[in-house]
Chain A
């Protein structure tokens, strides 16, 4: 049983009303003068006056009418199996899949956690009448737009977050900010507690592969360095053909100055050396729409006293790149430092400790969940919705019909039956 308008249940307190009226309206008994009391049984004397119910049937009937009216106004819905099924189909479900680094770990089934989460999300989406799938590496930030999407649907709203729930990623404030009628379900993706994570990045012509394994209190890191010239580099060195050997030396020198991390492929930097023939042409093709990371890189270069003559943004090889015009000769220490700085800013890798962050306990996840409230929203254009209130109204009407003669009986003087008999005699 569920209620479409549960607030109306407050009306049940109105049951006290007929009782109060009954007790108060009775007041004191009126005194009537009567010819003789000899025929009135002494046992009819009343011990108390105010606590005794005079007409319990009528009182019970009136209480029932008030109570059933309150229940009918609350619009009860009897949850039969068929209705439950229909209600389940009527769910609008927003599914948020966590794609943060922690989800790269392996589940017991062998697949990565994020793949497992995606499969679960698709299954949940298929069950719902309307669904949306949001992949994000920050689930907390995806909750408000998901709630906004849910508010546009009249079905029961359910928000599902599929994640491994690292601590600090999602908290009670995020859930509390959601509308009250949104059900929040958190599905944890099981991951093996001893993951092996492989990270790769490049340094010059070399590919560096690190396999990290958590072994209780420490981490095993297995490094492998291979030559790889096929990959596109994020930092492009542009110079005269005669400087090619020098530029290669610069790249190798830069790779030795810093530990390289996985590269954000959306970022790219081009360093133009002084002897490059097309330098002037390139200079005119640039524009000044800098991305924030470009500004950050330039600020860092300035701080270290690099001799970047000027910078610009240009479209090179179908990629928007930060172009740095330098006066340093390729192969010089200054040029190697410049390449290393560019390399470091292109890194998108996170610190290794994030890979095995502390996760919320089961009880903490359960406390963040908001259970289904069994509230069925009335569909637009159907004022009664799926409510069973009409049956209660019918009963109320029936009780009113019964109450009427009872009330008349209570107020009508007793029929002088004896007189008729006496007259007949």
Chain B
């Protein structure tokens, strides 16, 4: 078994694709089957040949035995469309030294894209650049993957993120039912975000809420009176961190509990990633958990030719 790559090492790799590959390769050490349901072409039944059927589907062995022409019919799944919704709000830029939540999220998205693409699925991206929503439609192929990862790499955490809108728009733009992976700290309007999550799930998408939290923000890591500047609003407050630490810890714990509870209630997948956890370890744990349970809203569809 290989040792885990620490988040700081992964984040230090400039080439996001390489980082993603390292994460995925590290993750595969345990060996498991694809966590994304829907991709397979398995035999289902025979039916008599009709004129116009593709000759490559003719079962020649059966013809040799029975002297009758039969066409093989497959249970076929379409390519799964996976949409990564990446939060690039300013709060994701925390902490400013070390591995930020946004860098962690970038590597996570790239690794997921790599993984999904390698398994033959289509992967796309929904995020914002400035005030505008940026949508890259899910597609397969290595060229698309590289372009997608390069795009993710160029993103910078800053203002102008509307999480619920990005999620709503992304789930709308997915033309068929697919997987929506929202990667964020979810410091948005909780009700609006929850509403959009539920709506996306109701559309038939397999929605997952991948919450990224920095280790440093789980507690108030200060001992003194500090002025805290809100990364998103720019508000500055003088805080007695020692006095406020207990209340803060309780509040953030309750926030995380709320996120998890609402996700489970709405049939949304949930996973918490902390920046101190090696990414491949966290990703493997999440994917194993996901693979172990039946698909929530199956993206697999039967299609007979």
Contact = CB atoms under 8 A, between A and B. Distances in A.
Interface of A: 26, 29-41, 44-46, 49, 54-55, 410-419, 421-423, 425
A54 B224 contact: yes
Contact of B229 (A31, A45, A410): A31
Given A40-B248, A44-B247, A422-B274, A35 B255 contact: no
B243 A44 contact: yes
A413 B226 CA distance: 13
Interface string B218-256: 111111111111111101111110111101110111011
A33 B220 contact: no
12 contacts: A34-B229, A35-B185, A39-B248, A39-B252, A44-B240, A45-B239, A46-B239, A46-B240, A54-B242, A412-B223, A422-B274, A425-B272
Given A36-B231, A414-B223, A418-B252, 20 more contacts: A29-B227, A30-B226, A31-B236, A32-B229, A34-B228, A34-B231, A35-B187, A36-B217, A40-B228, A40-B248, A40-B251, A49-B238, A54-B224, A54-B240, A414-B245, A416-B218, A418-B218, A419-B215, A419-B274, A421-B253
Nearest to A39: B251
Contacts of A412: 223
Given A419-B276, A422-B218, A37 B235 contact: yes
Nearest to B91: A35
Nearest to A418: B218
Contacts of B80: none
Given A33-B229, A419-B276, A45 B238 contact: yes
B225 A46 contact: yes
Contacts of B253: 418, 421
A39 B227 CA distance: 15
Nearest to A411: B223
B264 to A, nearest CB: 12
A29 B229 contact: no
Interface residues of B, number: 50
A411 B235 CA distance: 26
Given A44-B244, A44-B247, A416-B219, A32 B228 contact: yes
A232 to B, nearest CB: 101
Nearest to B101: A35
Contacts, number: 130
8 tightest Cβ-Cβ pairs between the two chains A and B? A39-B251, A44-B244, A418-B218, A35-B91, A31-B227, A35-B94, A414-B219, A34-B228
A30 to B, nearest CB: 6
Greatest chain B CB density within 10 A among A29, A36, A416, A423 is at A36
A33 B231 contact: yes
Contacts of A26: 224-225
Contacts of A55: 242
A417 B225 contact: no
A40 B237 contact: yes
A35 B224 CA distance: 18
A104 B123 CA distance: 128
B42 interface: no
B91 A36 contact: yes
B262 interface: no
Given A26-B224, A37-B228, A37-B237, A418 B219 contact: yes
A32 B238 contact: no
Contacts of A32: 222, 226-229
B96 interface: yes
Nearest to B187: A36
A40 B240 CA distance: 10
A35 B219 contact: no
A125 B276 CA distance: 85
A218 to B, nearest CB: 90
Given A34-B231, A40-B237, A45-B239, A29 B226 contact: yes
Contacts of B158: none
B214 interface: yes
B277 interface: yes
Nearest to B250: A39
Interface in B177-220: 185, 187, 213-220
Nearest to A33: B229
A38 B187 contact: yes
B37 to A, nearest CB: 25
B217 A49 contact: no
Contacts of A40: 220, 228, 237, 239, 244, 247-248, 251
A386 B256 CA distance: 65
Given A29-B224, A414-B221, A36 B230 contact: yes
Contacts of B214: 35
Nearest to A415: B219
Contacts of B229: 31-34
Nearest to B251: A39
Contacts of B94: 33-35
A423 B286 CA distance: 12
Nearest to B100: A35
Interface string B2-27: 00000000000000000000000000
Nearest to B221: A413
Nearest to B236: A31
B277 A423 contact: yes
Contacts of B252: 39, 418
A55 B224 CA distance: 10
A418 B224 CA distance: 20
Contacts of A41: 244, 247-248, 251
Nearest to B220: A414
A363 B82 CA distance: 107
Given A32-B227, A34-B94, A49-B238, A417 B219 contact: yes
A34 B252 CA distance: 13
Greatest chain A CB density within 10 A among B213, B228, B244, B245 is at B228
A35 B244 contact: no
B13 to A, nearest CB: 24
B134 to A, nearest CB: 23
B225 A29 contact: yes
A421 B257 CA distance: 11
